[in-house]
Amino acid sequence: RSPRKPPRKGERRREQSDAMATATATGIAINHRRRPAAPALATLPPSSSSALSPIRPSLRLSHSLCFLSGNRYSKRNPKTRGLGVVVCAATEPLKVMISGAPASGKGTQCQMIVEKYGLVHISTGDLLRAEVSSGTEIGKKAKEYMDTGMLVPDEIVTDMVVSRLSQKDVREKGWLLDGYPRSSSQAGSLERMKIRPDIFIVLEVPDEILIDRCVGRRMDPVSGKIYHLKNFPPETEEISARLITRTDDTQEKVRSRLETYKQNSDAILPTYFDLLQKVDGNRPREIVFQEIDALLQKIRTDAVKFKTLEVTNGNSNSNLKLAASSRDNWRGIPTRLNNIPHSKEIRKYFYDDVLQATQNAIEDKIRRLKVEINIPELNPETDVYRIGTLLELVRTLALSFADDGKRVKVCVQGSMGEGALSGMPLQLAGSRKIMEFMDWGEYGALGTFINIGSIGAREVEEQDDLFILMAPQNAVGNCIIDDMKAMTDAAGDRPVILVNPRLKDMPASSGIMQTMGREKRLEYAASFENCYFFRLLYYAGTQYPIMGALRMSYPHGYELYKRIDESYGKEKYKLIATFPKRPTGEEINAAFEGKPRQAIES
């Protein structure tokens, strides 16, 4: 099996999965704000939750605070597993990334930020221009690209940035990265090195303004200060006389740079999804700075709250065990989940989250896995359900395993029953065909490393390493479980992953519940271990507003989040409790009301 590795790995996917290797530890702060009692929840399926220790009423997790080295999966890193002391962010200097189109004002804002915060400003544009003017080999090569407004090759820029970031002053004072990363591969390089900012600022300015800003820009070679003939004329005649114009500031080149920016900028946003702050850069520079300053101040204030906290992982006396979020490359729950269709960043977030949990479980030799993810677009009970989202999720999983050289069989349930009773679950109708037409990557994975099949023992071939069953479900009058069982028997110790299975009892076509062999069927369905679970929680009988979310990502427990409204239409999810097993509706309600765990159980 697996006679060869794929000839070319999908670069982006590789970056994504490597990015997951990022091991971050977390500062935890205790926030004693009182929470109002929550109305009753829609009932959740009962859980066999055992006695649980009391937790503090409200805890907040922060992420990307400390960088710990680790191998592919942070849970395997002994440093993170038995983490004794979580070093708080307050001890760390600020790490800021600023991005935006050419002339959006990055350099101008950086000067103001440096002045106030003393960070080390690392501008790839400045570094490259310095190489060009010194006539170095790097400079000669870079010039060709800069003159046409294209991106200088990654290997040149990344080396420059990484070597600068490793220097002592940067480690001590913090950094302000301007113009890097500019492509998904550059972002991937930083992720692999576990370099993440505290904030990712994007300056937004309309195109027509940008051209004028570039053409009117002048630089002072002595002070490095940026001027504009109209907007910020130099203070003295002397300065005015020595000003220079950048060679790439002609109208034509600016247009080309702008085009390059547009082609690349979207690709990096998913990496910094949770840290993204868009700032309107089309205002006087002092006003723009006021907003940036407030954002940086907030990071500082929050960091100060994160006192060094002793967290004994695994100790039942601990107030809160380190949640999954703190140990994997987890970036918080995306907001605006009720906005349909989901943005591609939201979808990507969940694909990555599911992938990481699944990989963790397979690495731990769990062979029968179940993914249950119930965001609006993946909830077939709602009319915003999108089969495309399910297909994309399955593709992400399959391609990632194929990247690792595994032969994956993606199985879509076919027609069931016979004669007039034959049919297939509505949700899956046509999905196999769509799957065949989907883009399966550059190296022709479909037909080699990924094959599409159905559900049943006959589908299991010698060459298959892993099976993904897409939303297997009972159809009216027909039970898929017997076919699944035959298939898993044939698969032996090869992993079988169920993505959003629906294996509950279904009434037969006669309207009567199937009862024969029911117990065995349910027992079989329960033999699949949840490696990922996500569900939004709503106030009883509503779909809005969202009350919170329940998340579980193998190997960690269930995390309960409360959705909190913020100013300007923003929202956030705040961790309020963790559970070793899936909590019941009652346990969730009690946690929302801030009742101590013991009181719930009595």
Kindly state the DSSP code that residue 511 receives in the 8-state scheme: S
List 6, 27, 57, 105, residue binding ligand AP5 (CB under 6 A): 105
The distance from CA 40 to its chain's CA centroid, rounded to whole angstroms, is: 31
List 16, 17, 64, 108, residue binding ligand AP5 (CB under 6 A): 108
Catalytic residue among 75, 95, 182, 321: 182
Catalytic residue among 13, 56, 246, 305: 246
Encoded one letter per residue, x for contact with ligand AP5 by CB under 6 A and - for no contact, window 185-214 reads: -x--------------------------x-
Q: Which two tokens stand for residue 521?
A: 């069927």
Examine the residue annotation and report whether 458 is marked as an active-site residue of this protein.
no
Long-range contacts for 15-19 (Cβ within 8 Å, ≥24 apart)?
15/184, 15/185, 15/187, 15/188, 15/191, 15/192, 16/188, 16/352, 16/355, 16/400, 17/355, 17/359, 17/400, 17/403, 18/188, 18/191, 18/192, 19/188, 19/191, 19/192, 19/271, 19/329
Binders of ligand AP5 among residues 228 to 257 (CB under 6 A) are: 228, 231-232, 248, 257
Contact predicate 299/217, CB 8 Å:
no
| CB nearer to ligand AP5: pick between 134 and 602 | 134
Q: Using CA atoms, how far apart are residues 202 and 185, in angstroms rounded to an integer?
A: 18
Examine the residue annotation and report whether 494 is marked as an active-site residue of this protein.
no
| CB nearer to ligand AP5: pick between 7 and 284 | 284
Q: Which stretch binds ligand AP5 (CB under 6 A): 14-22, 187-195, 280-288, 387-395?
A: 280-288
Encoded one letter per residue, x for contact with ligand AP5 by CB under 6 A and - for no contact, window 47-86 reads: ----------------------------------------
Q: Using CA atoms, how far apart are residues 431 and 436, in angstroms rounded to an integer?
A: 9
List 10, 27, 57, 125, residue binding ligand AP5 (CB under 6 A): 125
Examine the residue annotation and report whether 368 is marked as an active-site residue of this protein.
no
Minimum CB separation of residue 127 from ligand AP5 in Å reads 8
Q: Using CA atoms, how far apart are residues 340 and 333, in angstroms rounded to an integer?
A: 16
Binders of ligand AP5 among residues 406 to 435 (CB under 6 A) are: none
Closest CA relative to residue 410, chosen from 330, 342, 497:
497
| 143 near ligand AP5 (CB under 6 A) | no
Q: Using CA atoms, how far apart are residues 218 and 227, in angstroms rounded to an integer?
A: 5
Give the alpha-carbon dihedral of 332, 336, 337, 339, to 10 degrees: -160
The distance from CA 429 to its chain's CA centroid, rounded to whole angstroms, is: 30
Place of tokens 């407030």: 294
Minimum CB separation of residue 115 from ligand AP5 in Å reads 14
Q: Which stretch binds ligand AP5 (CB under 6 A): 75-83, 278-286, 378-386, 496-504?
A: 278-286
List 195, 288, 590, 600, residue binding ligand AP5 (CB under 6 A): 288
Longest CA–CA span in the chain (Å) reads 94
Q: Which stretch binds ligand AP5 (CB under 6 A): 21-29, 178-186, 465-473, 479-487?
A: 178-186
| 279 near ligand AP5 (CB under 6 A) | no
List 10, 174, 179, 583, residue binding ligand AP5 (CB under 6 A): 179
Catalytic residue among 75, 213, 217, 551: 217
Q: Phi, psi (5° rounding) for residue 574? A: -120, 130
Minimum CB separation of residue 268 from ligand AP5 in Å reads 10
Q: Phi, psi (5° rounding) for residue 296? A: -70, -40
Amino acid of residue 542: T
Examine the residue annotation and report whether 336 is marked as an active-site residue of this protein.
no
Catalytic residue among 257, 327, 521, 562: 257
List 70, 100, 495, 548, residue binding ligand AP5 (CB under 6 A): 100
Site size toward ligand AP5 (CB under 6 A) is: 37
Nearest-CB residue for ligand AP5: 125
Q: Which stretch binds ligand AP5 (CB under 6 A): 220-228, 324-332, 390-398, 560-568?
A: 220-228
Contact predicate 73/21, CB 8 Å:
yes
Q: Which two tokens stand for residue 111?
A: 């000067």
List 151, 398, 455, 577, residue binding ligand AP5 (CB under 6 A): 151
List 19, 20, 29, 146, residue binding ligand AP5 (CB under 6 A): 146
Q: Phi, psi (5° rounding) for residue 72? A: -50, -40
Q: Using CA atoms, how far apart are residues 114 and 111, in angstroms rounded to an integer?
A: 5
Closest CA relative to residue 197, chosen from 276, 264, 268, 85:
276
| CB nearer to ligand AP5: pick between 103 and 446 | 103
List 9, 75, 106, 574, residue binding ligand AP5 (CB under 6 A): 106
Minimum CB separation of residue 105 from ligand AP5 in Å reads 3
My answer on whether omega of the bond before 341 falls inside 30° of 0, hence cis, is: yes
Amino acid of residue 191: E
Closest CA relative to residue 576, chosen from 31, 194, 52, 168:
31
List 10, 57, 107, 548, residue binding ligand AP5 (CB under 6 A): 107
Examine the residue annotation and report whether 246 is marked as an active-site residue of this protein.
yes
| 157 near ligand AP5 (CB under 6 A) | yes
Active site positions, annotated: 106, 182, 217, 246, 257
Q: Which residues bind ligand AP5 (CB under 6 A)?
A: 100, 102-108, 123-125, 128, 145-146, 149-152, 157, 179-180, 182, 186, 213, 216-217, 226-228, 231-232, 248, 257, 281, 284-285, 288
